[in-house]
Amino acid sequence: MMKPDMIPARPIARQAAPRWQQLWREAVRDPAELFGLLGLQALSDRLSPAATAQFPLRVPRGFVARMRHGDADDPLLRQVLPLDDEDRLVPGFELDAVGDGAALAGAGVIRKYRGRALLVATGSCAINCRYCFRRHFPYADETAARGQWSEAVAILANDDAIDEVILSGGDPLSLADAKLAELTDALAAIPHIRRLRIHSRLPVVLPERVDAGLASWLQGLPWPVTVVIHANHANEFNEEVDAALARLRDAGCLLLNQAVLLRGVNDSVDALADLCERGHRAGVLPYYLHQLDRVRGAAHFEVPDDRARVLHRDLAARLSGYLVPRLVREVAGDPGKRPLA
């Protein structure tokens, strides 16, 4: 037996970081490396240094592996590659496209909708999506995004009209399990909260995130939990993603998908139908199909409203009713998403 003052022969091993955090750090950030992996060196001429500097390339290797080799028009690649299309300034495409600046109650709480409050839990994401309004969002000014919840929790506690908390970001599942537990422990003390919703792209872009630790955190939560994943194309699903989604369902979560309608990615009835059916195969029901937020640098992704309505109508003619997402747009100052169809 060891006496208390004896020094152990070997230092106690520090607990290794979870595998998903390691995969996170190993994401591809160098466009030249991405072109090498995909055999697309010719694309380097079209890279935008300005866009790369403003919102850098970042894409997990597992997501790159789902891209088609040698295909410059691959729908997954288009979502992450900072091309010179982004340099075009288009009137109407602004820095704060959805009016979040005005809706911020402070401390990372966004109160736009009745009954629901969105908590910007962190500014980080595992992937940088070119079409995302987050590319210009001033996360550094928001205290919840810096991991200090107390102010945000106080805002939620003081408003008993809020019965649903939506964890968003950034990507809330980019937080370590212990941080998530710290936050939900604080929320659990607020009696008027009845539902938790998590918006995350991680189950799709880094499915390893849904590990045993995350599952046990989810299982321990006192509310029904809805996870809204963000997949824009059927090719984003593979066996690992299916397994991650199955683990979320096993932990009791209801799974929904929201997609953004993106030119050159999913702007055909076939692509949208494949997405809805593939999601369903993984236990996910379609929720929203969003018209693009008009954010600076993303104009080349826009699908005109008339075309969006036709696509949506044709989709509804083809699929079971429950497989048809609602076509909506986020309008600054509106009390909810505005339906287009």
Ligand X SMILES: *Cc1c(COP(=O)(O)O)cnc(C)c1O
The binding site for ligand X (CB under 6 A) comprises 110, 112-113, 116, 118, 166, 330, 336-337
| Interacting residue with ligand SF4 among 27, 129, 167, 245 (CB under 6 A) | 129
- Give 31 or 108: the residue with its C-beta nearer to ligand X: 108
Task: Supply 148's token pair.
Answer: 């200090």
Q: Which does 128 bind (CB under 5 to 8 A by kind): ligand X, ligand SF4, none?
A: ligand SF4
SS3 259: strand
230 belongs to the binding site for ligand SF4 (CB under 6 A): yes
Distance of alpha carbon 246 from its chain centroid, rounded? 18
| Residues 97-126 interacting with ligand SF4 (rule: CB under 6 A) | 125
- Give 40 or 289: the residue with its C-beta nearer to ligand X: 289
User: Please, which residues have CB within 8 angstroms of residue 86's CB and are 6 or more apart in sequence?
Assistant: 48, 50, 51, 130, 297, 298, 300
- Give 166 or 315: the residue with its C-beta nearer to ligand X: 166
Q: Which does 118 bind (CB under 5 to 8 A by kind): ligand SF4, ligand X, none?
A: ligand X
Instruction: Calculate ∠ Cα 145-128-107, nearest 5°.
Output: 15
Shortest Cβ distance from residue 271 to ligand SF4 (Å)? 18
d(Cα 45, Cα 51) in Å, to the nearest integer? 14
Q: Which of 111, 96, 195, 121 is nearest to 156 (CA)?
A: 111
| Residues 161-180 interacting with ligand SF4 (rule: CB under 6 A) | 169-171
Shortest Cβ distance from residue 35 to ligand X (Å)? 34
3-state secondary structure 215-256: HHHHHCCCCCEEEEECCCCHHHCCHHHHHHHHHHHHCCCEEE
Shortest Cβ distance from residue 167 to ligand SF4 (Å)? 12
d(Cα 282, Cα 248) in Å, to the nearest integer? 11
| Interacting residue with ligand SF4 among 59, 107, 127, 234 (CB under 6 A) | 127
| Residues 178-217 interacting with ligand SF4 (rule: CB under 6 A) | 201
d(Cα 214, Cα 181) in Å, to the nearest integer? 10
Q: Which does 337 bind (CB under 5 to 8 A by kind): ligand SF4, ligand X, none?
A: ligand X
β-bridge pairing 104-106 and 195-200: unpaired
Q: How many residues does the chain have?
A: 341
Residue type, 333: G
134 belongs to the binding site for ligand SF4 (CB under 6 A): yes
What residues make contact with ligand SF4 under the rule CB under 6 A? 125, 127-129, 132, 134, 169-171, 201, 230
